[in-house]
């Protein structure tokens, strides 16, 4: 049976949820409502006049092949960032979990990059891969590989993915590591007695038991790749070359704050809101069924 606490009257429960509601209204519903409203207009930058265009902004965007291409770029970017940040994190967590001595040091070292702000991480990676003074690009040059992410879209994408995933590995590591500690030893020992080797135990016992954490991290990382990688992209490529790293969020920024086109920028935010909403629904509807709690 479910336990339920029943309140008498309405005042206390309302009061208790009030802070949460106020925060949501002020920081989410109000701005989101503004974005939806503004997406119906083409305003001038100074807010002196605006033209009502109905769904004109959406029409303008969706008929732009570069905007449509930006969906694909975003999908590729998000999937790569999620994979590149989760798989190494899981691997490191499994290794660190097996350590008997010195695991504290390893843990601290592995969590460290999380403290680096995305924009700073972007500058660090950019510096290492700078086509002129970068250490790594210099070594690549010695090996005969001509690194030039300012012209090569694939290399630019690779660089922003690595820079975005790097700090994120720490975050994921933390969750995986905690989850691994919670896997009951008795189950693993029983399997070991039955003769299952380490990787077999890992894939048949540990991984399924980690699934709630994996699912949580999947959702959180995709949201991260969508919204929080902005700083990295801004510092490393500014969306280039030829829009090959222009993800949806970056376009919202560059159209709104560089181009002063607030109408289009608002319409893009609305589209983004819908896309992320749909993604989350899909994740919960289909993926969550396969999660064992």
Partner 1 sequence: MNKTLIAGFALASTVLTPIAASAQTEVQFWHAFTGRLGELVAAQVDAFNAGQSDYTVVQSHKGNYSETLNAGIAAFRAGEQPHILMVFEVGTATMMAAAGATKPVFEVMAESGATFDPDAYIGSVKGYYTTTDGDMLSLPFNSSTPVLWVNRDAMEAAGVDPDTDLSTWQNVGAVLDQLKAGGEECPLVTAWQSWIHLENLSAYHDVPFASKDNGFAGLDTELMLNGEAQVAHLTAMGEWAQDGKFVYTGRRNEGGANFRSGECALFTESSAGYAGIKAEAEFDFDVRPLPYWEGVGNAPQNTIIGGASLWVLEGHEAEEYKGVGEFLSYLSSSDVQAQWHQDTGYLPITTEAGEATRAAGFYDENPGTDIAVIQMTAKEPTANSKGLRLGSFDQIRGIIDEELEAIWAGDKSAQEAMDSAKERGDALLRRFESANR
Structure tokens at 88: 């190494």
Contacts of residue 196, Cβ cutoff 8 Å, sequence gap at least 6: 204, 205
Closest approach of partner 1 to the CB of residue 286, in Å: 37
40 forms part of the interface with partner 1 (CB under 8 A): no
Closest approach of partner 1 to the CB of residue 70, in Å: 12
Inter-CA distances, 84 with 76, 100, 110, 164, 276, Å: 12, 27, 15, 9, 20
Which residues are 52's β-sheet partners?
A: 41
152 forms part of the interface with partner 1 (CB under 8 A): yes
**Of 260, 273, 280, 281, which one interacts with partner 1 (CB under 8 A)?**
260
46 forms part of the interface with partner 1 (CB under 8 A): yes
59 forms part of the interface with partner 1 (CB under 8 A): no
Give the total of residues touching partner 1 (CB under 8 A). Answer: 33
- Four-CA torsion 65, 68, 72, 74, nearest 10 degrees: 120
> Phi and psi dihedrals of 194, rounded to 5?
-70, -5
Closest approach of partner 1 to the CB of residue 260, in Å: 6
Quickly list DSSP for 263-277: HHHHHHHHHHHHHHH
31 forms part of the interface with partner 1 (CB under 8 A): no
As separate numbers, helices (DSSP H) first and strands (DSSP E) second, the chain gives 15, 2
238 forms part of the interface with partner 1 (CB under 8 A): yes
Beta-strand ranges (E) seen in the chain are 41-43, 50-52
Q: Which stretch binds partner 1 (CB under 8 A): 45-53, 172-180, 201-209, 283-291?
A: 45-53
Per-residue binding letters, 179-208, with partner 1 (x by CB under 8 A):
------------------------------
Closest approach of partner 1 to the CB of residue 265, in Å: 11
Task: Give the span between the Cα atoms of 81 and 85, in whole angstroms.
Answer: 6
48 forms part of the interface with partner 1 (CB under 8 A): yes
Judged by the rule CB under 8 A, the positions of this chain that interact with partner 1 are 42-48, 50-51, 53, 60, 64, 66, 131-132, 150-152, 238-243, 254-255, 257-261, 263-264
């Amino acid at each position: 049976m479910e336990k339920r606490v029943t309140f008498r009257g309405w005042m206390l429960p309302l009061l208790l949820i009030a802070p949460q509601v106020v925060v949501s209204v002020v920081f989410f519903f109000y701005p989101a409502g503004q974005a939806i409203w503004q997406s119906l207009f083409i305003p001038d930058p100074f807010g002196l006049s605006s033209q009502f265009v109905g769904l004109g902004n959406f029409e303008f965007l969706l008929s732009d092949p570069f905007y449509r291409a930006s969906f694909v770029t975003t999908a590729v970017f998000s999937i790569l960032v999620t994979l590149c940040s989760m798989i190494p994190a899981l691997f490191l967590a499994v290794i660190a979990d097996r350590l008997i001595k010195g695991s504290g040091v390893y843990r601290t070292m592995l969590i460290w990059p999380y403290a680096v702000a995305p924009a700073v991480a972007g500058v660090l990676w950019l510096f290492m891969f700078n086509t002129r003074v970068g250490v790594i690009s210099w070594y690549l040059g010695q090996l005969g590989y001509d690194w030039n992410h300012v012209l090569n879209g694939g290399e630019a994408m690779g660089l922003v993915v690595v820079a975005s995933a790097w700090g994120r590995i720490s975050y994921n590591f933390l969750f995986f590591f905690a989850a691994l500690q919670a896997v009951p030893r008795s189950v693993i020992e029983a399997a070991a007695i039955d003769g299952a080797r380490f990787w077999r135990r890992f894939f048949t016992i540990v991984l399924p038991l980690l699934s709630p954490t994996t699912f949580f991290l999947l959702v959180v990382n995709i949201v991260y790749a969508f919204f929080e990688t902005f700083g990295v992209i801004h510092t490393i490529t500014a969306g280039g070359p030829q829009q090959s790293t222009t993800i949806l969020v970056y376009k919202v920024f560059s159209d709104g704050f560089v181009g002063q086109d607030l109408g289009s920028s608002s319409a893009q935010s609305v589209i983004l809101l819908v896309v992320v909403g749909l993604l989350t629904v899909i994740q919960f509807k289909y993926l969550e069924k396969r999660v064992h709690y």
